[in-house]
Amino acid sequence: MRTHARRTIAGAAIAAFALIAAACGSGDDGGTIEGPTITIGSANFSENALVAEIYAQALESEGYQVERKLNIGSREIYAPALEAGELDLIPEYIGTMLTYLGGTASPDSAETHAALQVAWEPAGIEVLDYAPAQDKNGFVVTQATADELGLAKVSDLAAHNGTLVLGGPPECPEREFCLKGLEDVYGLSFAEFRPLDVGGPITVAALEGDEIQVGLLFTSDGTIVAKDFVLLEDDKGLQPAENLAPAVRAEILEAYGDKFAETLQKVSSKLTTAELTALNKFVGIDGQDPEAVAAEWLKAIGVTE
């Protein structure tokens, strides 16, 4: 399961733009919507802060007053802050949050989302519609390996049992979503498991150098695009759903009505895993300014002008 606090990409760039706080946004008619200022927070890694910035700019474009408190820490910090009213809105990963609340996530996005809504409602938190985009464990190969061995799905690896080297975090052999799951769910076996980092540069280098043929990265990692890796389809549903969704205090939704949720839904409906991966590449690998990346993407999907 995805543990988001483990990864920080382009931390310096994100830290800089996290300090920016917009006081008032203007709608199409140049007016400001009356109501409470919406404090948007995020976890302390760049993808989550970038999505929070996208939420913020989308709301500002409609005239909502927004304050940013990005990169504030792990789930153990920001989730209680949301429930206490210190934050009003965060981007959340539905499977990990459900597990945090004591539930059990499944590969089914709708089922996991519904369970999270029920679990978080008593704390006054509403989980809006989820995006197609997911950030979870994924198994990748190089394009050359995919072409040579005919790999598109995780199940395709079974035809090469006992011949490939798998690389991943040291705890992978005991984890149900890593080697143990590949063995139990897919019936896979490998020539060797090589302990590396957690979806980081050591794994990337090992893939490029053919020291391993299969590596664990996160499904929205910008490196997948930058290196032209092939993300194998999890065709047997080993990984729990980890769609991104806006988590909002119920008081904010009551104060602003349906239009508030509709604004965020415009964003979620366009945010696919491929789009998120590209955005992560722009920020984490190409070094582009997150605020500018968010603004350009919102224009491209027609949310802003």
pLDDT in tens, 85-140: 999 999 999 999 999 999 999 999 999 999 999 999 999 999 999 999 999 999 99
Model pLDDT, residue 303 = 94
Q: Which of 128, 38, 122 is nearest to 91 (CA)?
A: 128
Cα angle 48-238-194, degrees, rounded to a multiple of 5: 85
- Assign 30 a pLDDT band (cuts: 50, 70, 90): low
Q: Which fold has domain 4-134+240-300?
A: D-Maltodextrin-Binding Protein; domain 2 (3.40.190)
Q: Spell out the residues 6+ positions from residue 191 whose beta carbon is closer than 8 angstroms to its own.
A: 162, 163, 164, 165
> Which of helix, strand or coil describes residue 253?
helix
**Contact of 57 with 29, CB cutoff 8 Å:** no
Judge whether 4-134+240-300 and 137-231 match in fold.
yes
Structure tokens belonging to residue 244: 């991104």
Q: Where do runs of H (alpha helix) occur along 65-190?
A: 75-83, 94-100, 109-120, 143-149, 179-186
Q: How far apart are CA 231 and CA 217, in angstroms?
A: 9
Q: Which of 227, 225, 271 is nearest to 245 (CA)?
A: 271
Q: How far apart are CA 162 and CA 298, in angstroms?
A: 46
Q: How far apart are CA 166 and CA 61, in angstroms?
A: 46
What tens digit of pLDDT does each residue of 174-210 get?
999 999 999 999 999 999 999 999 989 999 999 999 9
pTM summary value? 0.88
Asked if residue 38 has pLDDT above 50, the reply is yes
Separation in Å, CA 33 to CA 27, 60, 182, 255: 8, 10, 51, 11
What tens digit of pLDDT does each residue of 45-69 get?
999 999 999 999 999 999 999 999 9
Q: How far apart are CA 156 and CA 149, in angstroms?
A: 9
Model pLDDT, residue 18 = 36
**Does domain 137-231 bear CATH number 3.40.190.120?**
yes
Asked if residue 20 has pLDDT above 90, the reply is no
Q: How far apart are CA 184 and CA 295, in angstroms?
A: 44
Q: Count H helices and E strands in the chain, helices first.
A: 13, 10
Ordered by start, the domain boundaries in the chain are: 4-134+240-300, 137-231
